[in-house]
Amino acid sequence: MFINSLILIVLLMLNVGCVGSHQVNDVSNFYNETSNRYSDGKNALKAYSAENGCNGRNADSVKNYIKMLEHSQGAELLYSRYRSDLIRNYHTELAFGYADVALKKGCLDDADNVYRGLISFYVGDAYSGIRDRAKLGIDDIRSMRESR
Residue 71 has a pLDDT of: 82
Residue 14 has a pLDDT of: 41
Contact between 84 and 73 (Cβ < 8 Å): yes
DSSP code per residue over 46-89 = HHHHHSSSS-SHHHHHHHHHHHHHHHHHHHHTTT-HHHHHHHHH
Residue 76 has a pLDDT of: 62
Integer CA distances (angstroms), 98 to 33, 66, 80, 142, in order? 21, 9, 27, 18
Query: What is the pTM (predicted TM-score) of this model?
Result: 0.77
Residue 27 has a pLDDT of: 60
Contact between 111 and 141 (Cβ < 8 Å): yes
* Residue 113: domain span: 2-146
Whole-angstrom distance, CA of residue 112 vs CA of residue 139: 10
Q: Which of 102, 88, 101 is nearest to 131 (CA)?
A: 88
Residue 75 has a pLDDT of: 63
Tens-digit pLDDT string for the chain (148 aa): 444 443 434 433 444 444 445 555 666 677 788 889 999 999 999 999 999 999 999 999 999 999 988 887 766 655 666 677 888 999 999 999 999 999 999 999 999 999 999 999 999 999 999 999 999 999 999 999 999 8
Q: How many domains does the chain have?
A: 1
